[in-house]
Amino acid sequence: MFEMLFKCPAARKRHREGPLVHARQQFLEDCERRGYSRTMLGKIAWVLLSLAPAFDSKPGGLTNLDIDLAVDHRKKFHPSGTRSIERSSSQQLFRRFAVAWTRSMGWFEDVTEKRWYDEYLDDFENHMLSARGLSPVTIVTCRERLAWLFDGLPLHRRSLRDLSITDIDEFISKRHDMGWTRRSLGALAGSLRCFFRYAENQGWCQTGLTAGIEGPRLYQREGIPEGPLWKDVRRLLESTRGDRPVDIRDHAILLLLALYGFRRGEVAQLRLEDLDWEGEAICVLRPKQRCIQRYPLLPVVGDAILRYLQEARPRTTHRQLFMALHSPIRPLSAASVSAVAASRLTAIGVNLRPHGAHCLRHACASHLLASGFSLKQIGDHLGHRAANSTLSYTKVDLKGLRQVADIDLGRLL
């Protein structure tokens, strides 16, 4: 590894004879398999060499404090012919790889102080995952909202037993004053009710809290799903018809979002084995329905994905379909998929709220409705659990409304 990274004999000798040489070399090989570039591997090698003396004197049981001390007092090298690693890398870079390296050896112990409510949230998280089968995004969001509530409590109320409905009402009111919409406040109240219903069953808190949690009044299907016009979707897809790897990848992602109406998490979770090339089909995991749904692989989508696999996808051992194109090579997250859609829409001058991947799902539904498909067909295509979820799109059937407007209603009198 060191022979590949360093041309200078003195540098190679220093790395070979430094402390923890086998551990450093193994970590560098792991980084290489994860897709780090040769330049970055060279930087990591100097980081490890500068930190190795501190870790060699205390193998195992390293804490965040030990990492910080090692980074602050690291040995500084000035390899001939190269810039000093001290000048070219930040302290954050040192700490990041110090933690990753020591954790890979099993030496790092994360002793972050537990908050008083973490055990409750851990138990509730397991309940949401195992008993209710909720998606990871839903679980993380719910846990985050509960942490906001508990962190804002006065010191003398840092216990579920001491929590009152007044504390919960004040928490929701503060979110309202911060500009949260009624729909967001309704979702917040729903998360709180879900937790405190479970907490009451476990005997963690006072009884009756759940019944007292009230959110704002929401009217069924009051909001109109907002998505770009289909002509804008066509412009969006045309804007990614380039030869750059990022254009090739983004074009395939946007086709899946716009033509199939996939959610951002469903695109991020696609794996290579989900593509049935012989059967001309694509399979997607529907977390809300808890099933795998099979779709015909449209030729335009299949061609776009095939081109991405042949020309743009980095070589990696990961099985996820869509990957980051720069080191470290890693699968795209759901947030990254949404960021692709948002940035591409902004680039063509389409500004919507929300403007991520989900607005393309709305555009897909509206386009299908305008094309004459039934609500049942649209709901099945989008993977809706309930038929009511599709009814919102009837409010944007402007073509149908115009046909009604053309009728001479006076003859009906």
74 is catalytic: no
Interstrand relation of 291-296 and 275-276 (parallel, antiparallel or unpaired): unpaired
Distance CA 271, CA 258 (A): 19
Of the candidates 24, 358, 362, 367, the residue annotated as catalytic is: 358
Buried b (16+ CB within 10 A) or exposed e, 213-233: bebeeeeeeeeebebbeeebb
* Nearest C-alpha neighbor of 248 from the set 169, 185, 328, 311: 311
Handedness of CA 336, 341, 346, 347 (dihedral sign): positive
Of the candidates 355, 361, 362, 381, the residue annotated as catalytic is: 361
Of the candidates 36, 198, 308, 393, the residue annotated as catalytic is: 393
Three-state secondary structure call for residue 358: helix
315 is catalytic: no
Of the candidates 288, 307, 318, 326, the residue annotated as catalytic is: 288
Tokens of 13: 């000798």
Burial of 208 (0-12, 13-18, 19+ CB in 10 A): exposed
Distance CA 388, CA 3 (A): 64
Tokens of 383: 């993977």
Burial of 50 (0-12, 13-18, 19+ CB in 10 A): buried
β partners of residue 296: 281
13 is catalytic: no
263 is catalytic: yes
Say how many C-beta atoms besides its own lie within 10 A of residue 19's C-beta: 15
Distance CA 308, CA 243 (A): 10
* Nearest C-alpha neighbor of 317 from the set 28, 30, 27, 24: 30
Q: Where are the alpha helices (DSSP H) in 203-263?
A: 209-212, 230-238, 245-259
Of the candidates 143, 355, 367, 384, the residue annotated as catalytic is: 384
List residues with catalytic annotation: 263, 288, 358, 361, 384, 393
